[in-house]
Structures are given as structure tokens and as C-alpha cells.
Amino acid sequence: MKVEQLYTKCLSEATYFIASNGEAAIIDPLREIAPYIAMAKKDVVRIKYVFLTHFHADFVSGHVDLARVTGATIVYGPTATADFKFHEGKDNEEFKIGDVTLKLLHTPGHTLESSSFLLFNELKKEHCLFSGDALFIGDVGRPDLAVSSLVTREDLAEKLYYSLHEKIMKLPDDIIIYPNHGKGSACGKNMSNETFDTLGNQKKVNYALNLNLSKEEFVKQILDGLTEPPQYFPKNALMNKKVNTPVEELLAKGLTAISANQFKNCTNMQDVLFLDVRSPKEFAERHISNSIFIGLDGAFAPWVGVLIENINQPIILIAPEGREEETITRLSRIGYDNVLGYIEGGIRAWNNEGLNVNELLTLNANDIELLDDECSFFDVRKIGEYDENCVKNAEHFPLDHIYLSAKDKDKNKEQYVYCAGGYRSVIAISILNRLGFKKLININGGFTEITKSNIPLKIYKNNCTASACSK
């Protein structure tokens, strides 16, 4: 028996590959299916099943393609409905994969059809639980994504309580919990760095499995502090119920090289968005006017999903040479399927053609001359980071609510913009410049560098005195 976790850091997502005696199953596959087919080929196994723990909201899965290409059966939990053919599994139904067995446990709460899969090894002993978004390491799935006119988030939270207490927590303590997500995913709020753990240990450390919590306290705790889900979540959940375009077709379209000259002579490309996925440094040095920066070497897909509001947006890429296919694939994982091509020769060719390029004003923290309160700062980090410590008088301007925050701001005022290390601040400035801001300056290296400079901070966390600490 082989159990492999395939963890994708950009999405904080875990897919699983199970193989035994010539047969295999995939749990919660990502959109692109070639890696799973390659694994099955290498292990000389036939993919028999594709199991989905639930209709994912934070990525688009490739289950329909995988089933079409391999002949595998798609399995969802009870109550699932979709536009494609699948097997609606029953609670406690068993599925054979070679010499091992996977048992479906209906564990509603995160969503109504949410199910976990318990793996019995060749000796018929419980080995591990693929817990989907019912149980994470350090957390449980948020119960507010599948609310409808028939079911409230409180109803779903109660269902999750029963799923945990009456099903999952009754399993042997030594089984391994393999969740669908890890730290950084917006499907939960308090996940650990680890991507698996034993159930026994989770009973000790996971707040949601605390036996002393009453049902009412549990509901209150898991609903407390939930933030608005990102705008692309409902769109991805809908896509997962439909048949989507295979990634090969998206690549065939998106891998079209567009020369700067061709673009210049094109009049029907007014509504395209230039998406620059290079490094923050390269973007700062030179970029196409009005392009948006979201670099590949960061939480690329989630930021695209949060910040590009039209999922059907026609996109032209400015990508590092040789990473165009990776970019289109990663965009497809969250349903951004409308890549028209990429600029051949990148920014250099664009510049050579005499087309508009801009640079981004950037300063090192040490080079900022502070003129008392005339200097103002936008802190684009998350609220938790801002609350922990920030530049004195910095205004909180979180990247995930940038369009809302930008509405009432003076676009002609000089502002320094920073995040933790210089990735999110460049994203923010690229968007704000499109919205008409004219005097934004990026701080190189972000807050990490600021703490080494003379810029005064609001809170001195490790050395807090009454006079230095204003909050």
C-alpha cells in the first residue's frame, strides 16, 4: 500500500494518491491531471476512483477530466448534486482499491455533502483518515461557505460538532489525519504548520476537539472571528459542479506568443489586463503601464482570486521566460481560464517597440527622510500583523480590501507603502496606480527592513514601556 500526500504550497492544498495491488485512487485532485496520470503510470496502477471530500470553494478540481481520461468513477458524499456523472456515496459505504479499503464517513458541517474517507490497510486495520475540510491540523473547516435559504451557518456548525464528536473522535487515536488544507488557507482560521498529525495528538492540541466544549460553546468559537470569504470562492464552488475546459485546451490558447508590434496594431484588446508575474524587483524596475503585478513566487493564485474580480477577465501575461505554462496552469486552478497569450520577449521587447513602460518608486527604509508627521504610510498587511507592530501613524490599508479602502483616499498625496517583505506592497501599488494614485513609494524589504531603520514604530512588542507603547 502506498499513500502519498501531494502538497501545493501556493494554495495550501493537499491531494492524496493511494495505490495498492494494481489499483489507485486520487483524493481531491487539483485542476491539472497530468501529474496523477504520470504517477499511476510509474507505479503501474489503474486509477479506479476519484474521491472528492466536498465541493471545493478555493480551487477548481480536475475530477471530471481525470475520470474522462482514466475511466475512474467520481465519488462524492451524500446529498451532492452536479452536472456530470458521479457516484453518490452513502454513509459507511466501502470502496476497494487493490488490497485496501476506503470507507466513506459522512461528516457534514463545512458543507452538507462533506465526507471523510477512512483507509483500512491490507490487515483491515484503520490506517488514516482523509478528513477533507471537516478536520484540519489545529482547526476545523469554516461552516459559512455553504449557507442557503435552507441552512444557516449555525446549523452547519452544529452538524460539524456532531460529525466530529460522533464520528471522527470515536476513531482510534493512532490513525493519521490527512486534511485537505494547511496553514494559509482561507477555509479555516487557525491551522498549524504541519500537514498531518495523529488523531490522538489533535485531541490534545486542537481547540475544536476539546471535550469540555459544549455544543453551544463550539458553535460560538468556530463562528467567532470569521472573515468574509474571498470573492472567488462561490465562483470556484460553482465551477466544481460543472464540466470545465480541460487544462490542455487552456494551455493551447494561453501559450500564444503575442509580439509587442502585434499588440500595438490590435484594436480589439482594449479590455485585456496585463498580468505581470515576475519578481517584485523586476516589476519595480520596469513594467507595462497599467499592468497588475502578482508574482509567481508568492501566494500567487489566492491573490489573483482575491484581487482580479472578474473571473473571466481576458489576460495577457508578462511572465519569466519558460514559466508561461506554469502561470496558465496555476491560474486555471482557481478558474481564471481566459489567458489570451503572453508578450513575446517580455518587457524588453515592449520597450524596444516604443510602447509605454513605467517604473515603481522604491526606497530603502534607511533612506527615508522623516519629516515628522508629514510622512505617511500605508500598511497593506493583514490586521493581525498590523496590530502586532507597525510604523507609528501608519494607516491600515489591507491588500484584501484594497478597492474599498482606496475609495476615500487622496490620490495625489505622497505615501510610503509597505508589507512584511515587499511582495504585497508591490501588488498594492500596481493596483492603486491603475486606480489613479500618483505618488506611492514602495519600501524595499517591507517591515522587516523598517524594524532595522530609524523609522519610529507604534508598538515595541518585546520591550514595551508605557511611553513607547501607544496601543
Q: Are 106 and 115 in contact (CB under 8 A)?
A: yes
Work out the number of other CB atoms within 10 angstroms of the CB of residue 67: 21
Task: Kindly state the smallest distance separating residue 15's Cβ from Fe ion, in Å.
Answer: 13
Nearer to Fe ion by Cβ, of 75 and 187: the residue is 187
Task: Kindly state the smallest distance separating residue 204's Cβ from Fe ion, in Å.
Answer: 25
Nearer to Fe ion by Cβ, of 105 and 187: the residue is 187
Q: Are 95 and 62 in contact (CB under 8 A)?
A: no
**DSSP per-residue codes, 263-310:** HHT-SS-TT-EEEE-S-HHHHHH-EETTPEE--SSSSHHHHHHHH---
Q: Which residue is nearest to Fe ion (CB)?
A: 133
Identity of the residue numbered 422? G
Nearer to Fe ion by Cβ, of 227 and 364: the residue is 227
Task: Kindly state the smallest distance separating residue 56's Cβ from Fe ion, in Å.
Answer: 5
Site for Fe ion in 430-459 (CB under 5 A): none
Task: Kindly state the smallest distance separating residue 141's Cβ from Fe ion, in Å.
Answer: 6
- Locate 190 and state its grid cell: 487557525
Distances (CA, A) of 256 to 10, 93, 253, 324, 340: 25, 47, 6, 10, 7
Give the x-and-dash track for 196-235 against Fe ion (CB under 5 A).
----------------------------------------
Q: Which stretch binds Fe ion (CB under 5 A): 180-188, 315-323, 383-391, 417-425?
A: 180-188
Task: Kindly state the smallest distance separating residue 133's Cβ from Fe ion, in Å.
Answer: 4
Distances (CA, A) of 432 to 171, 234, 307, 314, 392: 51, 26, 12, 20, 22
Nearer to Fe ion by Cβ, of 206 and 415: the residue is 206
Task: Kindly state the smallest distance separating residue 294's Cβ from Fe ion, in Å.
Answer: 22
Q: Are 160 and 222 in contact (CB under 8 A)?
A: yes
Collect all residues with Cβ–Cβ distance below 8 Å to 436 and sequence separation of at least 6: 411
Which residues are 418's β-sheet partners? 379
Nearer to Fe ion by Cβ, of 97 and 187: the residue is 187
How many chain residues bind Fe ion (CB under 5 A)? 2
Nearer to Fe ion by Cβ, of 234 and 456: the residue is 234
Asked if residue 133 binds Fe ion (CB under 5 A), the reply is yes
Task: Kindly state the smallest distance separating residue 119's Cβ from Fe ion, in Å.
Answer: 20
Q: Are 108 and 159 in contact (CB under 8 A)?
A: yes
Asked if residue 187 binds Fe ion (CB under 5 A), the reply is yes
Task: Kindly state the smallest distance separating residue 313's Cβ from Fe ion, in Å.
Answer: 24
Nearer to Fe ion by Cβ, of 49 and 59: the residue is 59
Task: Kindly state the smallest distance separating residue 349's Cβ from Fe ion, in Å.
Answer: 41
Asked if residue 324 binds Fe ion (CB under 5 A), the reply is no
Q: Which stretch binds Fe ion (CB under 5 A): 128-136, 168-176, 231-239, 357-365?
A: 128-136
Asked if residue 146 binds Fe ion (CB under 5 A), the reply is no
By the 10 Å C-beta count (0-12 exposed, 13-18 middle, 19+ buried), 44 is classed as exposed
The Cα–Cα gap between 315 and 327 comes to 11
Pairing of strands 23-27, 13-20: antiparallel
Asked if residue 337 binds Fe ion (CB under 5 A), the reply is no
Nearer to Fe ion by Cβ, of 119 and 145: the residue is 145
| Strand intervals (E) in 40-172 | 46-51, 73-76, 87-88, 94-97, 100-106, 115-120, 126-132
Collect all residues with Cβ–Cβ distance below 8 Å to 78 and sequence separation of at least 6: 88, 89, 90, 91, 106, 113, 115
Which residues are 364's β-sheet partners? 444
Q: Which stretch binds Fe ion (CB under 5 A): 33-41, 187-195, 254-262, 298-306?
A: 187-195
Q: Which stretch binds Fe ion (CB under 5 A): 72-80, 125-133, 265-273, 311-319?
A: 125-133
Q: Which residue ranges make up the site for Fe ion (CB under 5 A)?
A: 133, 187
